[in-house]
Amino acid sequence: MSAVLDVLPYLVAGWVFLVGCYGLATSRNLIHAVGCLSVCQAGTYVLLLAVGYRDKATAPVYSDIKPGSRPVVDPVVQALTLTDVVVGATVTALLLALVVQISKRHDTVDPDELSELRG
């Protein structure tokens, strides 16, 4: 059990990232592709937080526990991830705005049809 758990979170992060990439490359709809990109992002969150975890520790927030009374997990990776989550959402919004623009200009959101248009 513990030998598996030593690497399982990293492997799950890698799986989520790769499966998102697969969806991105095979997508037939740009809105679906943006959704897949947010799946890829989720993989990075899992990886970062897995690196910062410590067994039998709790969150480094001292509003309801006394400092030093319990071991805590790494706050640095959490700070990185939490800004990433919100900024990632606005980047998703920017990409969706691009999709709206593409559908206006080319009347399609299928990436394959788009490359045919250009060629």
Partner 1 sequence: MTRRARLWLLLAGGAGLAVLFAAACLKLPAFGGDRHPYGDRAVRASLARHTANTVSSVNFDQRAFDTLGEMTILFAAVLGCVVLLRQTRDEHRAAPEPAEVALPVRRYALIVLPVALVSGLYVVAHGQLSPGGGFQGGVVAATALHLLYLGADYRALERVRPVGRYEVGDALAASAYLVTGLAGLIGSAAFLANTILPYGTFNTLSSGGTVPLLNAAIGMEVACAVVVLLARFLDQAVEIEGEGGS
Partner 2 sequence: MADAVIVVALLLVAASATVAVVTRDPVRQALVLAVLGVVLAVLFTVLQAPDVGLSQLAVGSALTPLLLMLTVRKVRRRGQEKGRGR
Partner 3 sequence: MNGWTLAATVGLAGGLGTALWGVATGPLRRRVVAQNLSTALACPGLLLLSQAYGRPSYVDLGLVLALLGPVGTLVFARLLADELAEDPPRAWGPTWAVAGLGAATVIALCVATGPSRAMVKLLVIGALLIGGNVIASRALSGGFRGVRRG
CA distances (Å), origin 59, targets 12, 53, 68, 80, 112 = 22, 10, 12, 15, 46
For residues 32 and 74, which CB has a smaller minimum distance to partner 1 in the complex?
74
Q: Provide the sign of the torsion angle of the four alpha carbons 19, 24, 26, 31, taken in this order.
A: positive
Q: What is the CA radius of gyration of the chain?
A: 20
Copy the structure tokens of residue 73.
């997990």
**Footprint of partner 3 on residues 40-99 (CB under 8 A)?**
58-59, 61, 63-65
For residues 89 and 117, which CB has a smaller minimum distance to partner 2 in the complex?
89
What residues line the site for partner 2 (CB under 8 A)? Answer: 1-2, 5, 8-9, 12, 15-16, 19-20, 22-23, 27-29, 31-32, 34-36, 38-39, 42-43, 45-46, 49-50, 52-53, 56-59, 61, 72-73, 78-79, 81-82, 85-86, 88-89, 92-93, 96, 99-100, 103-104, 107, 109
**Footprint of partner 1 on residues 21-80 (CB under 8 A)?**
21-22, 25-26, 50-55, 59-64, 67, 71-79
CA distances (Å), origin 95, targets 4, 27, 30, 47, 51 = 38, 15, 9, 24, 29
Count of chain residues binding partner 1 (CB under 8 A): 52
**Kind and range of the H or E element at 24?**
helix 2-26
Instruction: Summarize as ranges the residues that interact with partner 3 (CB under 8 A).
Output: 58-59, 61, 63-65
